[in-house]
Structure 1
Amino acid sequence: MASSSSANSKPSSRVYQPRLHWWRALKEWLWPILWVALLAGSGILGTWALVWLTRIPPVPNCEEMSRLSSSNDRIYCARTQSRSGSPQDLTAAILLTANWPKIHSDYEEAQKVLTEASQKLMFLASRRVQAGDLEGGVELASSIPQNTPLRKPAQAAIYEWRQEWSSGETLETTLATAIERRNWDTANETLQNLKLLKSDFWLRDRFQYWQRQLQREQRSWTSLIAARELAGKGKPEDYLEAITVARQVDLGSRVWAETEKDINRWGEILLAYAMVQWKSGNLEEAVTAAQKVPPNPNHGPEAQTLVRFAHAQQLASSALIQKAASTPTYAELFALREAIRAVEQIPADSPLYQQAQTFRQDWQAQLADASRLQLAQMVARLGQGQAYQLAIAQARAIEPDRPRRIQAQTLIAQWQKELERIADRPILARSDQLARPGTIAALEQAIAEASQIELGRALRADAQARIADWQREIQFIEDRPLIDEAVALAEKNQLREAIEAAQKVQPERALYARAQSLIADWTRTIEIKEDQPILDEAKDLAYEGNLSAAIALASQIGPGRALYSEARRAVALWEDERNYIWSIWESDGAADSDEPTSDSEFE
């Protein structure tokens, strides 16, 4: 039985052994797993806390800000709006920071923002006033609330601006009245009083405006007075000149209304004179007088015809004056068209009709030729060879008997020159390319290429200038070794040989002037070397008292030598000393001869 029981228990122990092993393994890993879980949880919690602490708080919506918002948000929005600098934002910043209780923890910060925004707003208000917008500046300054630091300064500024504005407007009224009455002294005095105001608007803008007005009125009045003085002489030519002077009056001046009346009155006088001259057969004098008469629909038919004819001739004359220019202008064409249109309105029964038709035919020919030349000029402006050829063909269509023939020939000559430039420019480009290496052979080829441009061509002068430069370069290359050889000899102190080498450079060569300069320097050096001992010896003799011998020795240095001037100065000095000594001897009666026996100089 016992054996049987033990046999039955062995399988049971084998069944529970794996469970026991698993439980023991779990107990061994439980604490490490628990610690890892705790560490991971702590890390996650710490990371979340760090992110929460360092995250940027949401930016407050300043557009929806009110007094119920937090103080930090209001200060933030006020500071942001103050930085923008716009009047609306500055006003909003002031409203957000105004009237905070002093016990508030952010009171000082709010005051700083309030003061800064108020100062900026006052600056903008002042700028508006300086620019002439008084009401705009007052509106900005008035937006500063009560019980704020800059409220009183703002109100004081508003009062000052209004006072100054009132003073300025009063001065302007006085100034306008003085100008209207031509009381120039009062006007100038009042104008200077504008400088006493402080605002740039009055000091600069309005002062300059009224200064221009005053100057314009004075000039206009002076012109009118001069015109009236001329008209007062009563002669037709004086009326003509008076109208010319009166038309210098500015149309925007107060004097123009009077001036226009005078011009019309003088024009009527001239018209009457012109009609008398016309009926007397003096048409030229009549036209000259009628040209100054302003058009007036109230004139009679004959007077209107004469004035129209005179104005047509005046327009055509201005076009003919412009014809001196090489190119027809739009103003010239317009003047001719207006002149033709004016004479076409002259009725057939007018005594001026036949003469007007003669002028009309000439002006139509002028207009046709000018239009053709203008078209040719427009084509020529394309700047291409075919365009110039087409323009020349257009201009050549104007025959020799046409009025614009000379003008056409002038333009043709200009366009032919342009064609020559187009044709010869590649030759100059090739010659420049050939000359680029800078060798004698290359330069000679370039000269030969540029010489193909014949005399009289448009680019002949440019070609000759290049040829002259390249010839000089060749001469430089050819003569440079001679100069270098001469300089090398001079550096070895072989000056005479250096001079002989430099003299090989012929006149009219590029380096001839350089060679002559070197020769002159070396010649001077040689002469100084030869004559300096003579001059030094003469000076020694003079120091020893042998003045006559010193003079004789120094006189051996001939004119043109390097030391000649120095030698002559020394001789003159020694002669003065010798003459002085002789004068002393003569005064003492000690000289029986020309020289003393005790002085070897006079032996």
Structure 2
Amino acid sequence: MTQKRNVSSPTISAGAQNTMKTSSDQQQSSQQTARPKSVELVEVDKEEAPPKQRTIPLPSWHFLGLVLILLSGGVGFAATSILLSFNGSSNCNALYVPLASATTRLYCAQVEAEQQTLGSYLKAIRMVDGFPQDHPLRPDIDRNIEVWTSDILELAEVQFQEGNLDEAIAIAEEVPVRSTARILVEERIEDWRLVWRDGERIFAKLDREINDGDLSAALRTAVELSYLENIYWSTVKYEEARNQIQLARKENEELDVAYVSHRRGGIENWLQAIEQASKISEDSYAYPQAQKLIDDSRENIIRYIEDLVDQQQWDQLMSLSDRLPGRLNLDNMVVDWKILAQAGLSARRGSVIDLETALVQIQSIQPSSSVYDQSQTLMNRWQSEIADVTLLEQGDAIAAGGTITDLQRAIAKLNLIEEGNPRYGEARRKVAQWREKIEISEDRPTLQYARDLASSRGTNALNEAIVQARKIQPGRALYDEAQSAIREWQGTIERREDQPIYDQAIALGNNQRYSEAITVANQITAGRALYPKMQEKVGGWRRELTAATKLRDAYNAASRETISGLVEAIRLTQEIPSSASAARSEGREAANQWSYGILNEAQRQANTASIPEAIATAELIPSGTAAYSSAQVQIEAWERLMRPAPPVETSENDVFLDPQI
């Protein structure tokens, strides 16, 4: 705010003197101005009057002194009257500055400055700034100019604090360049510019940090604005910075959701990413990133649609074309995609009319279209397909007769469709079906004849049926069925031939003559019908032989009547297969007896030899035998006996008696 300042006015005496001087000067000027006229009149009179020579008497000094006193008093009185008759602002408004005295101009300048406006301050300065530096009132004038300049700068400061730097500078530069207080203006403008540059530098740094996504650093930078000595930067721009950071944080969160959808991939996620990114406004810091994400998703969608076209997924293409948002700027492409989809759906129905309809639809795609090449490829394909469909329809009509001749003629018709044609695969499938029908028609009587022969179940009849069925060659439609019948009939023959051998081997095995049973069973060779069943029996007999051998070896080891022999005998019984139940049971009983034999020997050693030796012997008893638990109990007892007894604690009160007493 501009404050009214008290400026010392020039002294009245000085003003009076100047006023008196000015009044005297004006009187002298008027006298000088009037004097010529009076002088001219005198000269005219002199010209008209006849010349006379007359002596003028000089006045006395008394008279001259009186005149001098009267003149001095008159001048003072006139000056005082002028000062007393000066009426403030009303006279200042009518003041003619070039003829006004310094005191008057200074006074009027002060009155003008009291309006406290830019114009009044500037006018006040102009009123008094023209006096020379050696003027008596120059110090007062300079002090007033400095005050008014400061007031002007305060007005400019208001604009500066409100954020109007250019307006502030413009106001300050209104101060005349030659003004004595101009240096104050230059210093103040430089200070403003320094503060403004700091604010712009901080804000530019904040912009970069927000664009880089470093919102934490941006928030720290925003705090720097609050320290600037400018209300606009420290409040308005500071709040603006905080709002931008908050908005950027919110938009980054929205953009993160869009990025997640984009990275997941798939048409649904790409569309969702576009929808999320489109929420970012153009004035947002995240707008360039959002647009890039939209462009990337757009390219992914275009590639996806191109794959649909290549794969001829016309249903999906039609559905997707209706869902694409307008913001992708794909309107022209969408129109062409729909045309492709409609034409593809028509062509898929497969008839000649449908293919011709598809050709008409696809011809509306212009050469400038991005799918023009695909449309031309499809046109060529469908044109070729029309010829193929004609042949297929003709072949179907011929094959409908159902005879072998009709089917052969239909096959010949479809063989005209060359490899590489659009319907070549379909033609091959139809040909294969018709050939299968022909082969079935040709081979069914043969297979049926073989079945009729085999129905009697005689061996010779079965062999003859096999011969007939083998006439059906590999690759023919009924080949697998014929081979299945052959295996059945061959198995019947083999079972009849091998059954006596099987029965003999079983009888030998039941009598525990396992070696003889195995020898007889091996007469049934691999591949014969009873071979798997016979080998299963042979496996059981081999396990029985192994068990008998293990049990015999165990008895032999135990017969040595040594600790090591008993341990080996127990181990051999534990190796007897569980499937040999009889030998396994006998071996378990023998092992239990032998385990007690080892335990008895350990007890004998503890009584006659040494406890450590007895412990070592007892530890040889295998787990799972009858004596194992007893052996473990005995081992613990012997180990307790071997431990040293703890020392007996005695007290001072204990009394030991002499054994001799």
**Smaller-chain TM-score bracket:** 0.3 to 0.5
Q: TM-score normalised to the size of structure 1?
A: 0.41
Q: TM-score normalised to the size of structure 2?
A: 0.37
Mark the structure with the bigger radius of gyration.
2
